[in-house]
Structure 1
Amino acid sequence: MEDHHSTIRKYPDAPRPAVGAVVFKGDAVLLVQRANPPSRGMWSIPGGRVRLGETLQAAAEREILEETGVVIRANAPVLAFDVIQKDDRGGVKYHYVIVDLAADYVSGELRAGDDAADARWITAAELVGLTVNPATRRLLAEQFKFGK
């Protein structure tokens, strides 16, 4: 299954839509450590690909449950951006168009699942010492005044 999953992601014929969800619980934000390329090892907003016929909100709710075990209610988009990674010859190895949504924590016990190597509720103080995806760090600082 992992090999099939990897071939779907690499060298796409079109950009792949994806979502993330910015979820706070108390004074901590939900982050995952990526287990797979293109951001393997980095901490970021949890999320994943949008399936055909799925709304952004439904995709975010499904992906966060699969990746973290947490049930959320997804709200409005807060950021849209591209992740484009090219190979040594200039070919597009990955191209995602990601829409991050604000979301409310509903329930669930946190666990790392699906594409996550780890999942945690991270405080602003803990954020400083982590290898965080630059887009995630910028989003948290600018939109949510978190980790500044």
Structure 2
Amino acid sequence: MSGIRPVSVRCVGGILHDHEGRLLLVQRANEPGRGLWSIPGGRVEPGETDSEALVREMREETGLVVRPGALAGHVVRGRYEIYDYVCQVESGFLQAGDDAADVRWVDEATFTALALTDGLADTLRGWEMLPRC
């Protein structure tokens, strides 16, 4: 009997803080994690680089055009391998897009009160990427 491993899905996420130190979060409109809050992002499509996928996903989910920066870290959630990058906003207007039920900048108090995706708070804490206000 051979152990068949499910094919992993490469994903990217964008970690953004505004000038006040608030963190950008989206409320997921679809599974997995429908209704929960997380950092914006999604799947890397065939032929895309992480950077290209991140720019596309951020624009689709948040209305913002971003410039991806350094890799903050990597997590595995089931079959999803997620590479999260620190980003800077270049332009756009904040609005919930296709895979987001809502989008907002959150401070520390709001962050701790939201229903977050599993492991998000601990992961961001470990990377020192929590809201800074």
TM-score, scaled to structure 2? 0.87
Q: Does the Cα contact within 8 Å between 1:141 and 1:147 map onto a contact in 2?
A: no
| Equivalent pairs, count | 127
* Amino acid of the structure 2 residue aligned with 1:120: R
- Tell me the residue number matched to 2:3: none
Q: Cα offset for 1:115?
A: 0.7
Unpaired runs of at least 5, structure 1: 1-12, 85-94
Question: Aligned to 1:33, what secondary structure does the other structure show?
Answer: strand
Q: Does the Cα contact within 8 Å between 1:75 and 1:103 map onto a contact in 2?
A: yes
Q: Does the Cα contact within 8 Å between 1:17 and 1:97 map onto a contact in 2?
A: yes
- Tell me the residue number matched to 2:121: 137
Cα distance in 2 between the residues matched to 1:145 and 1:18:
19
Match of 2:43 among 36, 49, 53: 49
- Tell me the residue number matched to 1:14: 7
Match of 2:59 among 61, 65, 68: 65
Question: Aligned to 1:127, what secondary structure does the other structure show?
Answer: helix
Alignment of 1:41-120 (within 5 A): 41-84=35-78, 95-120=79-104
Q: Does the Cα contact within 8 Å between 1:33 and 1:119 map onto a contact in 2?
A: yes
- Tell me the residue number matched to 1:6: none
Q: Does the Cα contact within 8 Å between 1:82 and 1:97 map onto a contact in 2?
A: yes
TM-score, scaled to structure 1? 0.79
* Amino acid of the structure 2 residue aligned with 1:105: V
Q: What fraction of aligned residue pairs are identical, expressed as a percent?
A: 40
More helix by share: 1
Q: Cα offset for 1:125?
A: 1.7
Question: Aligned to 1:118, what secondary structure does the other structure show?
Answer: strand
* Amino acid of the structure 2 residue aligned with 1:31: L
**Per-residue Cα deviation, 1:12-51 (whole angstroms, up to 9, x for no partner):** x511111000011122111000111111111001000101
Q: Cα offset for 1:105?
A: 1.6
* Amino acid of the structure 1 residue aligned with 2:93: E
The 1:115–1:145 alpha-carbon spacing in structure 2 relative to 1, beyond 3 Å, is closer
- Tell me the residue number matched to 1:89: none
* Amino acid of the structure 2 residue aligned with 1:74: P
Confirm whether residue 127 of structure 1 aligns to residue 111 of structure 2.
yes
Cα distance in 2 between the residues matched to 1:71 and 1:145:
20
* Amino acid of the structure 2 residue aligned with 1:24: H
